[in-house]
Amino acid sequence: MAEGHSDSDSRSDAVVEALTEALGDDCVMTGDEVNGRAAGIWRSDTIQAKALLRPRTTEQVSRAVRICHRHDQSVVAHGGLTGLVESAVTTPDDIVLSLERMNAIEAINPVDRTAVVQSGVVLQALQEAVEELGMFYPIDLGARGSATIGGNISTNAGGNRVIRYGMTRDMVLGVEAVLADGTVLSSMNHMIKNNAGYDLKHLFIGSEGTLGIVTRAVLRLREKPVQQATMFVAVDAFDKMGDFLKYMDASTGGALSAFEVMWNNFYTLVTTQPAANQPPLPREYPYYVLVEVMGVEEETLEEALAAAFEQELIADAVVARSEAQRLQLWALRDDVEQCFRYAPVFTFDVSLRISFMEEYVTEVNRRLQAEYEEVRNFTLGHMGDGNLHFVVSVGEGGPDHRRRVEACVYEPLAAISGSISAEHGVGLEKKPWLHIARDEGEIGLMRVVKQALDPKGILNPGKVFDMERT
């Protein structure tokens, strides 16, 4: 062996050479080609890895993973890199498997109301493609222009319309996934009902690429709503928001599709320069709600809104009268990047019952204010499905301050049986707090499943929970 050339270097060279031989030079990137790529949409660092693979087919993914399995080589799948919990972060010892070239919408069937897509398809591209055929794919996120279907499946993404349509898990009929040894599991079910034995696709939905790499999926579509009404309302007390939510859902016959709440500090932020949004309502109220209803006559909606005023559930309101106005209202909710004016910031997504929400937010803010002199906790969320987002600025950054802020946010969840993650996943960031949302029995069974499907621990190692590699 040449002086200065370690066994580790030799193994690295061997696996990259084997991958290049199996996939071709055009599929394997190394060196500056890899290290010059951003590690994430919201991150300032770059990818660190031995190599980055860009396969075009499931067969190539299988071949690559088989080689990595043979060499005990760790593999981290990459989609649109819009995640927020360090689930796609890599080290110089990892191989990145990017699904960016597997971006074909293979079929859209309006009769069966399904779409067959590769994992690298961008969410917005699918939304627009099915809309042209009079269909509708309900999952919608602020990162719709970057997030991929594979990433959505990996994290069981939720977004804006969960209250009516459910999360990604509710949209997936079937998947094709490559297991840790390169085996291709093709469970491309096209039926809504298939109750024959275990529904194996659910192993991969929300598992953050730790049990297998999803390469293709069959997705459930809906009919495009004929009517779509959007309104923005102000509420003067938190306890009225729960009543307003229940009232709107009941009065529109279950057609409520979004109920997005903004605390005053977030609303003020996104309607104050340099933000480009204009305030549709005065900034004097403590809470604001973006309400969307699909498939209901405008007259029904107007009646429901008038009755809400009469019952003093809402204090003020504006209704979008055009598509442009509807998009302007949604722009308020999506302009979360304004929070970065106060960088460094720490972002959170938690899940809890609505009945505990006001008390929980008060307790989090009390703890933050006890820890720091200057605190900004911009608060918003998908209240209709119990999901809150915090963007916290305490004037300091770094892992020590992050840990202190996390304790303020996560510890109060234990007493109310809340979850540390509503839709972003666990990754590396939330791993130390997993015990709050899952008990020892659940985590133990997760380890058993991981051990069974990935005994060498090569798939996205270290994410969600620790596991000894064999």
- Better pLDDT: 106 or 301: 106
| pLDDT value for 7 | 55
Q: 136 and 218 share a domain? A: yes
| pLDDT value for 299 | 81
Instruction: Note whether residue 447 is domain-resident.
Output: no
When pLDDT is cut at 50, 70 and 90, the band that residue 5 belongs to is very low
Tokens of 160: 């804006």
Percent of the residues in the chain that have a pLDDT greater than 70, as a whole number: 97
Q: 120 and 202 share a domain? A: yes
Q: 21 and 79 share a domain? A: yes
Range of the domain at 64: 7-98
Q: 341 and 402 share a domain? A: yes
- Number of structural domains (the chain) is 4
Q: Global pTM?
A: 0.92
Instruction: Note whether residue 409 is domain-resident.
Output: yes
Tell me what the mean pLDDT of segment 93-102 comes to. 97
Instruction: Sort 111 into a burial class: Cβ within 10 Å, 0-12 / 13-18 / 19+.
Output: exposed
Task: Give the chain's mean pLDDT.
Answer: 94
Q: Are 392 and 368 in contact (CB under 8 A)?
A: yes
Q: 241 and 187 share a domain? A: no
Q: What is the CATH number of the domain that holds 11?
A: 3.30.43.10
According to DSSP, residue 38 is labeled B
454 φ, ψ to 5°? -140, 65
When pLDDT is cut at 50, 70 and 90, the band that residue 383 belongs to is very high
Q: What tens digit of pLDDT does each residue of 179-223 get?
A: 999 999 999 999 999 999 999 999 999 999 999 999 999 999 999
Percent of the residues in the chain that have a pLDDT greater than 90, as a whole number: 91
Q: What is the CATH number of the domain that holds 268?
A: 3.30.70.2190
Q: Could you give the CA distance from residue 386 to residue 419 in angstroms, rounded to a whole number? A: 10
End-to-end CA distance of the chain: 27
Reply yes or no on whether the pLDDT at 130 is more than 80: yes
- Better pLDDT: 298 or 132: 132
Domain boundary among 195, 223, 251: 223
Q: 299 and 397 share a domain? A: no
Q: 219 and 262 share a domain? A: no
392 φ, ψ to 5°? -110, 130
Closest CA to 368 of 414, 408, 399, 400: 408
Instruction: Note whether residue 294 is domain-resident.
Output: yes
Instruction: Note whether residue 453 is domain-resident.
Output: no
Q: 315 and 349 share a domain? A: no
Q: 346 and 411 share a domain? A: yes
Q: What tens digit of pLDDT does each residue of 37-55 get?
A: 999 988 889 999 999 999 9
Q: 315 and 271 share a domain? A: yes
| pLDDT value for 44 | 87
| pLDDT value for 170 | 97
Reply yes or no on whether the pLDDT at 8 is more than 60: no
Alpha-helical segments (H) within 147-193: 149-155, 162-165
310 φ, ψ to 5°? -60, -35
Q: 244 and 323 share a domain? A: yes
Domain boundary among 199, 223, 247: 223
Q: 293 and 360 share a domain? A: no
Q: What tens digit of pLDDT does each residue of 335-351 get?
A: 999 999 999 999 999 99
Q: Could you give the CA distance from residue 366 to residue 88 in angstroms, rounded to a whole number? A: 33
Q: What tens digit of pLDDT does each residue of 267-298 get?
A: 999 999 999 999 999 999 999 999 999 988 87
Q: What is the CATH number of the domain that holds 372?
A: 3.30.70.2740
